[in-house]
Amino acid sequence: MNILLLEDDLILSAELCKFLESNNFTCDKIYDGETFIRQIRNNSYDLYLLDINVPKINGLDVCQTIRSFDKNTPIIIISAYGDLSDKKDAFTRLADDYLVKPFQFEELLLRINSLLRRKAPSESSDQEIIRIDDLIINKTEQKVFRAGNEIALTLKEFQLLVYLAEAQGRTVSKQQITEHVWEHNFNTNTNTVEVYINFLRKKIDKDFKVKLIHTRSGFGYYLSPL
């Protein structure tokens, strides 16, 4: 299980990660909210621990940013702020738990394990969040983000993007795309697939140095940062 910690107290951060790693977790530590958000755009974690009072972007705003594209990954706020109003603000932003400093590490461990147990039954083999480089696809919410910015897609554009992403870098032919996205509702000799690929490129790739949607001449299309 991978945990990402947002905590600007260097000593506490190091001690927390050491404790979690001794209990069979991996723990990455980040010291400011801006770097934290960059980290989650490119990496997948099972749980987030967020201090509130950190540099650049505070933990509550980070929590809100996470929930804009990820409704499922558990979030625990760890903060010296113990007022009811502070806790209310955190839960309003859809945090799952709130622990006031100072706390015993064992209590934190109990809360982490409880949240992960609750999360496990709802998981399925059908991945809800797909991350490729700085592209995030939320299948449940039908939302797409690149570099943190939401990209508006039509239903068919979204379905085409998901199909390409789920191929995991493999090349898919025009015939395969029509079978899975359009369900044979048009003749494969038409240029509909090419038109929609171009629509996606304009929205997903045009303003970014790293291009994700590629053509393999004579074979089809694939989605990859390479």
Q: Quote the DSSP letter at residue 32.
A: S
Is residue 120 exposed (0-12), middle (13-18) or buried (19+ Cβ within 10 Å)?
Answer: exposed
Same domain membership, residue 142 and residue 74: no
Predicted TM-score (pTM) of this structure: 0.61
Domain total in the chain? 2
Same domain membership, residue 131 and residue 112: no
Mean pLDDT of all residues belonging to the chain: 88
Model pLDDT for residues 151-177, shown as the tens digit of each residue = 999 989 999 999 999 988 889 998 889
Same domain membership, residue 11 and residue 115: yes
Same domain membership, residue 53 and residue 21: yes
Residue 65 contacts residue 37 (beta carbons within 8 Å): yes
Residue showing tokens 């090419």: 194
Residue 204 contacts residue 154 (beta carbons within 8 Å): no
Same domain membership, residue 104 and residue 138: no
Say how far apart CA 156 and CA 181 lie, in whole Å.
Answer: 7
Same domain membership, residue 139 and residue 94: no
Same domain membership, residue 168 and residue 131: yes
Same domain membership, residue 88 and residue 139: no
Domain boundary among 73, 88, 119: 119
Same domain membership, residue 163 and residue 97: no
Q: Is the pLDDT reported for residue 93 higher than 50?
A: yes
How many C-beta neighbours within 10 Å does residue 203 have?
A: 18
- The interaxial angle of helices 84-92 and 59-67, nearest 10 deg, is 30
Q: Residue 219: which CATH number?
A: 1.10.10.10
Residue 69 contacts residue 99 (beta carbons within 8 Å): no
Same domain membership, residue 159 and residue 196: yes
Domain boundary among 54, 89, 119: 119
The residue segments making up the domain with residue 57 are: 2-119
Same domain membership, residue 211 and residue 194: yes
Domain boundary among 52, 86, 119: 119
Q: Is the pLDDT reported for residue 186 higher than 50?
A: yes
**SS3 helix, strand, coil % of the chain, rounded to 5?**
40, 20, 40
Model pLDDT for residues 23-54, shown as the tens digit of each residue = 999 999 999 999 999 888 777 889 999 999 99
Give residue 71's Cα distance to chain centre.
9
**What is the identity of the amino acid at 27?**
C
The sign of the CA dihedral 46, 50, 55, 58 is: positive
Residue with the bigger pLDDT between 127 and 7: it is: 7
Same domain membership, residue 130 and residue 115: no
